[in-house]
Chains A and B, each alone.
Chain A
Amino acid sequence: MDTFFLVCGLYLSFLMVLSLYRGIFGPTVLDRLIGVNAIGSKTAVLLILIGFIYHRVDMFVDIALAYAMLNFIAVLAASRYFQKRKGLFGE
């Protein structure tokens, strides 16, 4: 079962690299915000998978909970900040 979790974690990392493309080359600022949010929601899952691989779930579950909250607050604050016209059209 450890090998299965390891393969799942590697595949999730590959999907995070795909989302990172939108985070870097997104045409607008809000597209980059979508990419960052997708990476963050995958990271909370990946942290618990890492906890199962290392047999220390009781420690990693707190880190994952804190990371999920941090991701939510960061995306919400950034979307409040970037609601100006500047930076949306024509990079």
Chain B
Amino acid sequence: MDFIVVFLIICGLIFFTGGAVGILRFPDFYSRLHPAGKLDTGGGLLILVALALFNLHHFSLSTLLTGFKIILIVVFVFLSSPTAIHGIVDAGVRAGLGPWTKKKGDSL
């Protein structure tokens, strides 16, 4: 049981690391939204599922309720985080921000 929890948490931390590095290093506003939208949602999902599993060590009604609330946070993040990112994309498109194109002699 602890092995699964530790494995899921480390996977989630790897996802979060990829998201942070992507937000720092991508060249353009639209390409920065890609790690922000996908990897933060995935990492948060993995870590929260792992913590809900760890919470059910001592099985009783109150820990069951707490685990249900953590799963509720998972569902809410899964719905709301892509929606927020889509709102930011929509703001950029409406403001007329052009996409990034590779210039000559431009090194990533």
Q: How far is the CA of A38 from the CA of B69 in the complex (A)?
A: 22
A38 near B88 (CB under 8 angstroms)? no
* A75 interface residue (CB < 8 Å to B): yes
- Please give, as numbers and ranges, the residues of chain B lying within 8 Å of A58 by CB-CB distance: 62, 65-66
* A76 interface residue (CB < 8 Å to B): yes
B91 near A62 (CB under 8 angstroms)? no
Interface size on A, residues (CB 8 A): 45
A80 CB to nearest chain B CB (Å): 7
B84 CB to nearest chain A CB (Å): 4
B66 near A45 (CB under 8 angstroms)? no
* A61 interface residue (CB < 8 Å to B): yes
Main secondary structure of the interface of B (DSSP, over half): helix
B23 CB to nearest chain A CB (Å): 5
B70 near A82 (CB under 8 angstroms)? no
- Please give, as numbers and ranges, the residues of chain B lying within 8 Å of A71 by CB-CB distance: 84
Q: Which of B2-28 contact A (CB under 8 A)?
A: 2, 6, 9, 12-13, 16-17, 19-21, 23-24
- Please give, as numbers and ranges, the residues of chain A lying within 8 Å of B69 by CB-CB distance: 61-62, 65
Closest 9 CB pairs of A and B: A72-B80, A79-B87, A83-B91, A75-B84, A79-B91, A18-B20, A41-B40, A15-B20, A83-B94
Residues in chain B within 8 A of chain A (CB atoms): 2, 6, 9, 12-13, 16-17, 19-21, 23-24, 29, 32-33, 36, 40-41, 43-44, 47-48, 51, 54-55, 62, 65-66, 69-70, 72-73, 76-77, 80-81, 83-85, 87-88, 90-92, 94-97
Residues in chain A within 8 A of chain B (CB atoms): 1, 4, 8, 11-12, 15, 18-19, 21-22, 27-28, 30-31, 33-35, 37-38, 41-42, 44-45, 48-49, 52, 57-58, 61-62, 64-65, 68-69, 71-72, 75-76, 79-80, 82-85, 88
Enumerate 19 A-B pairs (CB-CB under 8 Å) in ascending A order. A4-B9, A18-B21, A19-B23, A22-B23, A30-B92, A30-B95, A38-B23, A41-B40, A45-B47, A48-B48, A48-B70, A52-B54, A58-B65, A61-B70, A72-B84, A75-B87, A82-B91, A82-B95, A83-B94
